[in-house]
Amino acid sequence: MEPNPWKTVSTRPIYENPWIALREDAVLTPSGTPGIYGVVHYKHLALGAIPIDAEGYTYLVGQYRYPLSAYSWEIPEGGGKLGQDPLAEIQRELLEETGLVAAHWQLLLKMHLSNSVSDEVAYVYLAWGLEQHEAQPDPTEKLRLLRLPVWEAIEKVHAGVITDSLSVAGFLRLECLLHRKALTLPPNAAP
Amino acid sequence: MEPNPWKTVSTRPIYENPWIALREDAVLTPSGTPGIYGVVHYKHLALGAIPIDAEGYTYLVGQYRYPLSAYSWEIPEGGGKLGQDPLAEIQRELLEETGLVAAHWQLLLKMHLSNSVSDEVAYVYLAWGLEQHEAQPDPTEKLRLLRLPVWEAIEKVHAGVITDSLSVAGFLRLECLLHRKALTLPPNAAP
């Protein structure tokens, strides 16, 4: 265990909404000088799933991302309640956004997205053994769904077309596991 | 170009420090219902570098991450001023944190770290042709430096020991490029 070299002198809540809470701490930095630290606490886990069907196709979700003022194609994602099982949460999100129910799940990675400012944690899963049910999209979202070969999706990461961090890291870990033969895709999904 | 399905009704600045600015917008969601959107604007780019020396070793930086209350081993990283050349900014950061000057640089990836809440953008570079100069660490930081074979660092991503998003995605893209033979490491860096 590494000791925390920062000292929190005082803490002041600044803002809160259903998704984030911002506080500003008065701190002593590791060198002992006084300073402030604005910390964004995330009230949800960032969860993502890469579903792969029997033909080696995956599904991307397209939506306009308000903070970026830009459209973004991504793996199916959603927020998971803190303290709940992230797997159950992403299973619910995948069903809502795509109508897919997967028989098999494997954790691909856990990441801290922006650790100099926030405590946000992400989990990305691989999901296979798919059954199509009816999607139940959040009515405040306007999602598009794209089914494409998983290798085409991976190429979109290498081409810089997919830039969402969960999608980028998730597809790259998937590719590494395929190169390492730690996973195999359905035969007609070969690159 | 996809049209923005969100309407911004009004915007209210909430908080600002040298690193972030938080605002709350009154919005109409894509379905037309009223809502709020708290957006965290980042005043810097998130920049990272994976330096590789002639022996196939890389360098990790260890530091306590205040928002996580946890110690983290990561690639050398720093904030780059918006509007400045990110490459020049990460060259300065790499020198400050490690004392390394690299003759060759290649962009490994561009990512949006947390696009449902923030506009933060990250760039991760590969750097080689290294010369050792004197490090000039920020006195408010307390950094440790670890030199290790690049494949050992990549294994720390697969083992879930490295969780910082820039480090995770950067090392995974590097591994993919090596598998694809789009890059070669010095001979004694083989896995």
**A88/B contact by beta carbon, under 8 A:** no
The CATH H-level superfamily of A44-184 is Nucleoside Triphosphate Pyrophosphohydrolase (3.90.79.10)
Q: For helices A150-158 and A165-179, what crossing angle results, to 10°?
A: 120
Chain A residues closer than 8 Å to B45 by CB? none
Percent of chain B with pLDDT strictly greater than 70: 97
* B28, two tokens: 């109409």
| Window B:18-57, CB contacts with A under 8 Å | 19-20, 22, 24-25, 27, 29-31, 33, 35-40, 42, 46
Instruction: Note the pLDDT tens digit of each residue in B111-124.
Output: 999 999 999 999 99
* A29, two tokens: 């930095």
pLDDT at A124 over 90: yes
ipTM surpassing 0.90: yes
Task: Note the pLDDT of residue B1.
Answer: 66
* pLDDT interval class at A191 (50, 70, 90): low
Sign of the C-alpha dihedral computed for residues B112, B82, B168 and A109 taken in this order: negative
How many Å apart are CA A33 and CA A49, to the nearest integer? Answer: 43
Instruction: Note the pLDDT tens digit of each residue in A169-184.
Output: 999 999 999 999 999 8
How many Å apart are CA B91 and CA B174, to the nearest integer? Answer: 19
Instruction: Note the pLDDT tens digit of each residue in B9-57.
Output: 999 999 999 999 999 999 999 999 999 999 999 999 999 999 999 999 9
Average pLDDT, chain A: 95
Chain B residues closer than 8 Å to A5 by CB? 64, 142
Pick the CATH number of B43-189 from 3.40.50.300, 1.10.3720.10, 3.30.450.20, 3.90.79.10: 3.90.79.10
pLDDT at A45 over 70: yes
How many Å apart are CA B24 and CA B26, to the nearest integer? Answer: 7
pTM of the model: 0.96
Do B27 and A72 lie within an 8 Å CB cutoff? no
Q: Which residues pair with B37 in a beta bridge?
A: B25
